Amino acid sequence: MTIALTIAGSDSSGGAGIQADLKTFSALGVYGMSIVTALTAQNTLGVDDVLPISADFVKQQFYSIINDSQLDSLKIGMLMNEEIVIAVSQLLLEHPMPYIVLDTVMIAKGGHRLLQLEAIKAIKQQLLPLATIITPNLLEAAALLSDSQAIDERDMRRQGRELLQLGCKAVLMKGGHLAGSQSVDYLIMPEGEIRLAAPRIVTNNTHGTGCTLSAAIAALLPQTSLVEAVEQAKHYLLGAIEHADTLKIGQGIGPTHH
Ligand code: PLP
């Protein structure tokens, strides 16, 4: 059985974070394990509060898992603070993983910070170079590069190439926040770039889309090539968004349907 691990935050409303990752792993046929970095008290209207787990206990969860099982793939999501970022980087240097998908989670759609500003530097310097692929949205890419947010596809591609220079093996630049009838992402690799366009689906229910996409890539990487894993993960996310409105969960930005 393929085992994928997520190191991420808990979303009490079940739509994002660890909960979205585990649903995605299951739907894609891999066994999911989880290390919780923070608890959030949230619902579809937003994040009310965040309680970080100590870096030591994040490490303890990791050791408990790897003392017993061999992992095939890892997704990293919300890390909350610098201590946790450094702890996770050290764990991965000690215990290299076959595939690492780093979702550079910073701010929830409602505006609540899921990563302290001081931790961005540690993500960039310590964690990013260990990643098989990073999956920033436009705001996160700009924050990592201390640049302004990309306003068109040319900017996106340039920033993607700059992020690649920082040492990860590939960058998926998510352009969903650019205007247009399509949602355009760029997969930037040393050997070239691929433009990935998908129809923009009109729905309010997009909570946890970033978590779902990165978890799907992590689930698929042990089974196929990087390009196919990204294409299939996007296909999976598209289906989840297309069926989101059938769920009717909460009063705000609802989850997608796995
Ligand atoms: N809560 C947790 C624990 C998350 O990991 C994330 C995203 O990574 C979110 C909330 C944000 O979800 P969204 O911005 O899709 O609402």
Give the DSSP H/E element, type plus range, for residue 199: strand 192-199
Q: What are the residue ranges spanned by the domains of the chain?
A: 3-246
For residue 65, what pLDDT is reported?
Answer: 98
202 pLDDT exceeds 90? no
- Ligand 1 center to 28 CA (angstroms): 20
Compute the average pLDDT of residues 211-221. Answer: 98
- Domain 3-246 - what CATH class? alpha beta
76 pLDDT exceeds 90? yes
Pocket around ligand 1 at a 6 A CB cut-off: 8-9, 11, 16-17, 40, 77-78, 105, 108-109, 114, 207-211
* Beta strands at 192-199 and 182-189: parallel, antiparallel or unpaired: antiparallel
For residue 231, what pLDDT is reported?
Answer: 98
Going by C-alpha positions, the residue among 71, 76, 65 that lies closest to residue 21 is 76
Compute the average pLDDT of residues 136-148. Answer: 97
247 pLDDT exceeds 90? no
For residue 172, what pLDDT is reported?
Answer: 98
At residue 221, the 3 state secondary structure works out as: coil
For residue 124, what pLDDT is reported?
Answer: 97
For residue 70, what pLDDT is reported?
Answer: 97
- Tell me which residue has tokens 């095939």: 72
60 pLDDT exceeds 90? yes
pTM of structure: 0.97
Establish whether 174 is a catalytic residue. yes
Establish whether 168 is a catalytic residue. no
- Ligand 1 center to 232 CA (angstroms): 22
52 pLDDT exceeds 90? yes
For residue 150, what pLDDT is reported?
Answer: 96
Compute the average pLDDT of residues 26-45. Answer: 97
From the candidates 24, 77, 211, 212, which is the catalytic residue?
211
Establish whether 15 is a catalytic residue. no
- Three-class secondary structure assignment of 132-153: CEECCEHHHHHHHHCCCCCCCH
pLDDT tens digits along 109-138: 889 999 999 999 999 999 999 999 999 999
For residue 29, what pLDDT is reported?
Answer: 97
At residue 51, the 3 state secondary structure works out as: strand
Distances in Å between the alpha carbon of 3 and those of 62, 96, 165, 238? 14, 15, 30, 24
From the candidates 210, 234, 254, 256, which is the catalytic residue?
210
Q: ipTM score here?
A: 0.91
For residue 169, what pLDDT is reported?
Answer: 98
From the candidates 174, 234, 254, 256, which is the catalytic residue?
174
Establish whether 167 is a catalytic residue. no
At residue 86, the 3 state secondary structure works out as: helix
Establish whether 44 is a catalytic residue. no
For residue 107, what pLDDT is reported?
Answer: 95
From the candidates 132, 208, 234, 256, which is the catalytic residue?
208
**Which residue has the least CA distance to atom 12 on ligand 1?**
208
pLDDT tens digits along 77-118: 999 999 999 999 999 999 999 999 999 999 998 899 999 999
Going by C-alpha positions, the residue among 248, 252, 141, 143 that lies closest to residue 207 is 252
Compute the average pLDDT of residues 162-176. Answer: 97
Instruction: Tell the burial category of 254 from Cβ atoms under 10 Å away from its Cβ (0-12, 13-18, 19+).
Output: buried
